[in-house]
Structure 1
């Protein structure tokens, strides 16, 4: 592992699974207030802006993003599987992300550089599957080419909608499927020394209670819950605040209380050699010990 010089800390807000069309307007309003007050360097949204990829849903999502950007925040956004039409078969296979490109972002694999942190988003949504995701050979090349050109002293963050690992979905403790070509993708992650993997999709947040942040080799895996959707899976709406500095990451859950977002569980991880150690927090739950094996 390359020795890293001291760099300024960066703070991310990690949102996911907004699901406009199946959202709670009161939570959206509270989320915007929270964002307006937050002092962060980048807002990362890891997919599923809409419920059924309808025009009206994208318009609502676009209006939300416009307000966030006009308040002075940078945003890195990627699509999710719900941002591809489900029942409009022609659009699903002929122009699956046309509305996403029009209303959210023309770029499907965006890249942002901050002081001390490099963040790359990769689109894992595919027309041929309803829930599953994939990382193509071309996207793996993009990951390698992008991070190979970044300063090795910077913390490297890869964002996908679908988790690279099989993680709990909330449905009776079952594990969801990892992305297709998982082994190849994780090989790139290991070789490039990527530090953080951010994802959503499962509507379950990283927290000390659920331990959905865990050390897996070099990369620290961070899951976001659903920020504004009414489709919850055993947890309320939430998002992550991630404070990053070389060799140290703090992940804090901002949890919906019914009237506002309040600070919840917080975990601090320190990088020691090729692994992340949880400092001053509970051990991983048995289900994640199973995942890590």
Structure 2
């Protein structure tokens, strides 16, 4: 039998009115109205599409939070009827269901009531109060107890190869804190107690780690906690996360591509993009999840006339599949040889910045910006006061009218690691590893900051001194130590610590290293 993971999120079963008489501002397809025909129609449309596209299929159901809009008792009562209908009609076994709580699934009125009658209050007492309604719902759906004070509260075994790890990112949320977080020490303690053998772990949380629509790299997450938690995931071999919360069907990578996230989007949104995801499971030597995206297509813009369609025009770029585990990665040499044989592009130079000085081959300017790195880098330069204005002449071909002292920037270990990560990100987002055959570190600092990129992507690597200091180096240091007579290296990246004008690069490739570069088709200068 075929198997799929059915990923839905943000159902937001809502009352028709807010407390105080105001209308609900955001409109959803599922409500607590006495006239439930429209909601049942919506659920049945969803069920019928799954049944039609995936007949005779074993379904693992993942719900990544915000089942209700305000966590009121009657919202959970209606949510129970809707989800039970999905489970029964799709013949999903309850042991194959993982339900993650969202911030809308905790009742803040219960927190306020607790605060009004008890002082002081422990975080454990707050969690018990705010999750009272969710706990009853969870018990009624799954027949098991939800512990509101646990970080790792449940796990789902998929095909005896994958563990979907249920994580509660809402344990620290109260009337003041609104964003998600994971208590690190508690996570470490609970993680040490679980046993998954050789199975591949996928973390499942409600809160998004990065934003597709908002200009917030931290997503809806406490910033400092986010970085520490992601570090812990990587330490424990977890590099894939299922999320919800943002209402944006998307897939992104974070931490220099080391972790991939997949958000199913909001299942029931009337105002924006209603969507869900299905991941058909392929297990051989590798573990692969196909990424099938479904969105709600309104007919003539009518909220009551719609169909679920497979999405082909993705709002955000997403991969066709996720490789969760690869049993036999390609060997370095064979991979590079294969890459080298595929490139037949015309020679150009791509640069992070260029001057008006003409050179003999075309220049493509390709500027880089990532607020997670660029803005922080500017702040570091200002904090260290390492920007110098004026005219600096190191040689006839190496001049600057303003200058950043990179050596001072990287003498601190944390700053050095940060700069190396910046270079990795430029390489991955602007150039793409598959396009490159060789990386060259140019200059002392250029050599230092380029090494992590070469190591991470298993690229052949060499170092060169600047041409204006060429004669100060021993002959052994002035050579690339690679023979390119057979055109093995067609696409090359030069990573430097300063913005070079055309004469510096021209002297390097046309005079100092001409035998090598005459068979290079494309040069990227970062």
Structure 2 residue aligned with 1:213: 252
> CA–CA distance in 1 between the matches of 2:248 and 2:181?
20
Do the aligned residues in 1 keep the contact of 2:2 with 2:58 (CA within 8 Å)?
Answer: no
Quickly say closer, same or farther: Cα 1:243–1:36, change in 2 above 3 A.
closer
For each residue in 1:57-94, what CA deviation from the matched residue of structure 2 results, as whole angstroms up to 9, or x when unmatched? 11111112222232321321011000112345226946
For each residue in 1:145-196, what CA deviation from the matched residue of structure 2 results, as whole angstroms up to 9, or x when unmatched? 33xx2122x2321100012x2323x34x454342462233212211221242
* Higher RCO (CA 8 Å, separation ≥ 6 residues): 1
**Aligned residue runs from structure 1 range 79-90, under 5 A:** 79-88=101-110, 89-90=112-113
1:225 alignment partner, SS class: coil
> CA–CA distance in 1 between the matches of 2:98 and 2:155?
7
Gap runs ≥5 in structure 1: 1-7, 207-211, 274-285
Q: 1:257 aligns with which of 297, 301, 305?
A: 297
Are residue 225 (structure 1) and residue 265 (structure 2) matched? Answer: yes
> CA–CA distance in 1 between the matches of 2:244 and 2:309?
20
Gap runs ≥5 in structure 2: 15-26, 30-38, 116-125, 140-144, 148-152, 299-305, 313-318, 330-366, 374-424, 426-526
Are residue 237 (structure 1) and residue 274 (structure 2) matched? Answer: yes
Bigger helix fraction: 2
> CA–CA distance in 2 between the matches of 1:111 and 1:231?
33
Do the aligned residues in 1 keep the contact of 2:241 with 2:261 (CA within 8 Å)?
Answer: yes
**Aligned residue runs from structure 1 range 267-282, under 5 A:** 267-270=320-323
> CA–CA distance in 2 between the matches of 1:150 and 1:157?
11
Count of matched residue positions in the alignment of Structure 1 and Structure 2: 261
Quickly say closer, same or farther: Cα 1:262–1:135, change in 2 above 3 A.
same
Are residue 67 (structure 1) and residue 72 (structure 2) matched? Answer: no
Are residue 16 (structure 1) and residue 9 (structure 2) matched? Answer: yes
TM-score (norm 1): 0.77
TM-score (norm 2): 0.45
Q: 1:194 aligns with which of 215, 218, 238?
A: 238
**Aligned residue runs from structure 1 range 91-106, under 5 A:** 93=126, 95-105=129-139, 106=145
2:67 alignment partner, SS class: coil
1:145 alignment partner, SS class: coil
Do the aligned residues in 1 keep the contact of 2:203 with 2:240 (CA within 8 Å)?
Answer: yes
Answer with 1 or 2: which has the greater Rg.
Answer: 2
Tell me how far 1:129 sits from its aligned partner.
4.6
> CA–CA distance in 2 between the matches of 1:15 and 1:247?
21
